[in-house]
Structure 1
């Protein structure tokens, strides 16, 4: 697996854990839409999160839709979310710095071009 593919999976897992923490009653379809992935991929991800002990999934009795699930982060899930948040933030800061440098370089090129055009 490529490093980029691994980062994308980590980002999706981090975003899923954040969404589940914020809305334990989120449906798989809502989660899929929010993550921009297929319903099948979302189902697979949720099963993996349950399998790794990061979330618990259970039906809740008061739901109108008796097949609805509630997802809860476990203590291990909270820890994993924190680790993933740190990695996500580090990547975003590096991307920001690279973009900032590129903008500065392009700005300098434009200024030189304008000076030569005068």
Structure 2
């Protein structure tokens, strides 16, 4: 979950918790819990900003530590996906041989 949140915040820091919940198909409470954990870890910081509908909202920005963490998580994610790809490719080769 952290990977998806950090990746989205790098792209669009004004994403709301409600938008995250909808994108990831999880409850708003779960997103709130995850966002608070990321804040506590120091990976993101929250800043107030004025939305066009005149309501106050938050922009969640990656901290330097958050950027480093996102890079490490991304590398692990890609390594896992490459291993899955290689295993699937080998299985397909066996099935078609």
Same fold at TM > 0.5: yes
Query: What RMSD, in angstroms, separates the aligned Cα atoms of the two structures?
Result: 1.2
Structure 1: 5+ residue runs without aligned partners? 1-11, 109-118
Maintained 8 Å contact 1:20/1:72: yes
Please say if 1:29 is aligned against 2:21: no
* Worse-matched range after superposition: 99-108 or 86-95: 99-108
Could you say which structure has the higher helix fraction?
1
1:86-101 equivalent positions in 2, closer than 5 A: 86-101=75-90
Deviations 1:51-71 (A, max 9, x none): 0000001221x3234242111
Q: Which consecutive aligned stretches of 4+ in structure 1 deviate over 4 angstroms post-superposition?
A: none
More strand by share: 2
Query: Separation in 2 of the partners of 1:65 and 1:38?
Result: 25
The structure with higher relative contact order (CA 8 Å, sep 6+) is 2
Q: TM-score, normalised by structure 2?
A: 0.91
- The alignment status of 1:55 with 2:40, answered yes or no, reads no
Larger Rg belongs to: 1
CA change 1:68–1:79 in 2 (3 A) is same
How many Å separate the matches in 2 of 1:65 and 1:43?
22
What's 1:107 paired with? 96
2: CA distance between counterparts of 1:39 and 1:99? 35
1:38 paired residue among 12, 27, 43 = 27
